[in-house]
Amino acid sequence: MTDLTALTAGRLVAGYAAGDFSPVEVTRAALERAEGVDPRVNAFVRIDGDTALEQARASAERWRRGAPAGLVDGVPVTVKDILLQRGAPTFKGSWTVPGAGPWEEDAPSVARLREHGAVFLGKTTTPEFGWKGVTDSPRHGATGNPYDPGRTAGGSSGGGAAAVALGAGPLALGTDGGGSVRIPAAFSGIFALKPTYGRVPLYPASAFGTLAHVGPMTRDAADAALLLDVIGASDPRDWSALAPFPGSFRDQLAGGVAGLRVAYSPDFGGRVAVRPQVAAAVRRAVETLEELGAHVEEADPGFEDPLDAFHVLWFSGAARVTQHLGPEQRARLDPGLREVIEEGARHSALDYLAAVDVRMALGARLGAFHQRYDLLVTPTMPDTAFEIGVEVPKGSPHRRWTEWTPFSYPFNLTQQPAASVPCGLDGAGLPIGVQLVGARHADALVLRAAHALYGTAVPRLPAPPLPAESAARP
């Protein structure tokens, strides 16, 4: 029998059209999987089985009539608990968010999925206000890695990554302000794309400003292109959104990489210490691109680490999102979040504008770099997943999450599209990701190159083990 939880969204839609199975069967399988794995990894804040089955039955009737609502009619999807979803609370991982509602509005990406007939399984875990690169919060606890629940799934979209990896829906909506779809994708063995800023409308606007992107988290690049075709539609609530993409991202997947100019930067010019097993897996992926016809050159973009500027922008955003809280509410915040709030509150307007200057200079440098190269390839992460429940690996010299994510946050500053593609496992069986970065607006090119890798054996990781029986949440 076909394992319905193992199928991509594209395969599900094709199966519905052919009458091979129904949205109700698929939704039941996805809900059973979600409820079975959640006690082990804590991927969900909320699983709404009754609503999901009601939506699935409506979808099945549309397919029976030959009149699907849209591109993902009947496909199970999860939504990060940062994005608004009508009828469901959005807690953002914080005890400071009241649960009473009313919850009457969809975020733009959620609204587009609803219009296209998607089935909403539930809301997925996030750190408090999505502030860090691992997923744990005072309100909802820590999210474990699908391959080893004693390790982190990454963050801040860790719940969505764990859900996709374990078969609890093939599509997940995440957000990425400094790596938050790419970090958990690399740690959890799935695909994720941070699109060009504005490609997916966002409302309400993020307190982290134009660092924050909405992006697809999926099993492969083809599903990400499908999801981006849905959620990339315009929405008048986001004044900074881009004009709709002229055409379909799915229609541009087949071009391959032959002739593309690829810059391979294994360690940002020696600045980043990359674990040898990670470096070897990424190099094999780069060699595959070369075998597929890309012109690969080892080249570094040559910028200084913009960490201090990123911290000014990020910590100031954290201070802003919590500015309205009183002392009692602040006492309930994640202690690490309280620290960055205090730091962010000390920054002046001049500090902020100086950080913007650094950002603009970095954008100009990368713009010039992409005049010479179509793609930049790096590791997504310098190491694999570490122990659960900590912001930085124990025993490391790092203080903040940004210090172990040097390949991700620079491209939030520059607003470029960047994807993480699984490319291997380390000796402990933990996933490794390779990052593909394109020039601004080159989302289709990034997806095309990732899809070319999916046509090889490189990213075909073994599925994570499923729990034999439910265990206590970490």
Looking at per-residue confidence, does 432 or 456 come out higher?
Answer: 432
Band (pLDDT 50/70/90 cuts) for residue 431 is very high
Q: What is the pLDDT of residue 286?
A: 98
The mean of the pLDDT values for the chain is 96
Q: What is the pLDDT of residue 100?
A: 87
Mean pLDDT of 286-308: 97
Q: Which of 4-18, 299-313, 363-377, 453-467 is predicted with the least confidence, judged by mean pLDDT?
A: 453-467
For 7-454, give the CATH class: alpha beta
**What does the H/E/C string look like for 275-295?**
CHHHHHHHHHHHHHHHHCCCE
Q: Which is catalytic among the residues 22, 59, 80, 265?
A: 80
Band (pLDDT 50/70/90 cuts) for residue 61 is very high
Beta strand pairing status for 431-438 and 144-145?
unpaired
Band (pLDDT 50/70/90 cuts) for residue 474 is very low
In the predicted structure, residue 2 carries a pLDDT above the cut 90: no
Residue 321 token pair: 């999102």
Beta strand pairing status for 171-176 and 431-438?
unpaired
Whether 137 is catalytic: no
The percent of residues in the chain predicted with pLDDT above 90, rounded, is 95
Q: What is the pLDDT of residue 468?
A: 60
Whether 470 is catalytic: no
- Asked if residues 317 and 211 have their Cβ atoms less than 8 Å apart, the reply is yes
Please tell me whether residue 251 adopts helix, strand or coil conformation. Answer: helix
Band (pLDDT 50/70/90 cuts) for residue 430 is very high
Q: Which is catalytic among the residues 109, 156, 157, 316?
A: 156
Whether 80 is catalytic: yes
Residues 331-354 have pLDDT tens digits of: 999 999 999 999 999 999 999 999
What global pTM score does this model have? Answer: 0.97
Q: Which is catalytic among the residues 94, 180, 265, 420?
A: 180
Band (pLDDT 50/70/90 cuts) for residue 471 is very low
Peptide bond into 102 cis (omega under 30): yes
Residues 137-168 have pLDDT tens digits of: 999 999 999 999 999 999 999 999 999 999 99
In the predicted structure, residue 473 carries a pLDDT above the cut 70: no
Residues 165-202 have pLDDT tens digits of: 999 999 999 999 999 999 999 999 999 999 999 999 99
Residue 437 token pair: 């970065």
Q: Which of 99-103, 256-260, 291-295 is predicted with the least confidence, judged by mean pLDDT?
A: 99-103
Q: What is the pLDDT of residue 460?
A: 77
Alpha-carbon distances of 305 from 44, 347, 365, 369, 406, rounded to whole Å = 35, 20, 13, 16, 8
- Asked if residues 377 and 286 have their Cβ atoms less than 8 Å apart, the reply is yes
Q: What is the pLDDT of residue 337?
A: 98
Q: Which of 78-87, 427-436, 452-461 is predicted with the least confidence, judged by mean pLDDT?
A: 452-461
Q: What are residue 264's DSSP bridge partners?
A: 298, 377
In the predicted structure, residue 469 carries a pLDDT above the cut 80: no
Q: What are phi and psi of 375, to 5 degrees?
A: -135, 145
Mean pLDDT of 442-454: 98
Q: How far is CA 141 from the centre of its chain?
A: 19
Peptide bond into 420 cis (omega under 30): no
Mean pLDDT of 69-96: 98
In the predicted structure, residue 328 carries a pLDDT above the cut 70: yes
Q: Can you list the pairs that 228-231 forms with residues at least 24 positions away whose Cβ atoms lie under 8 Å?
A: 228/193, 228/195, 228/199, 228/200, 228/443, 228/447, 229/71, 230/70, 230/71, 230/72, 230/112, 230/113, 230/116, 230/118, 231/108, 231/109, 231/112, 231/113, 231/173, 231/200
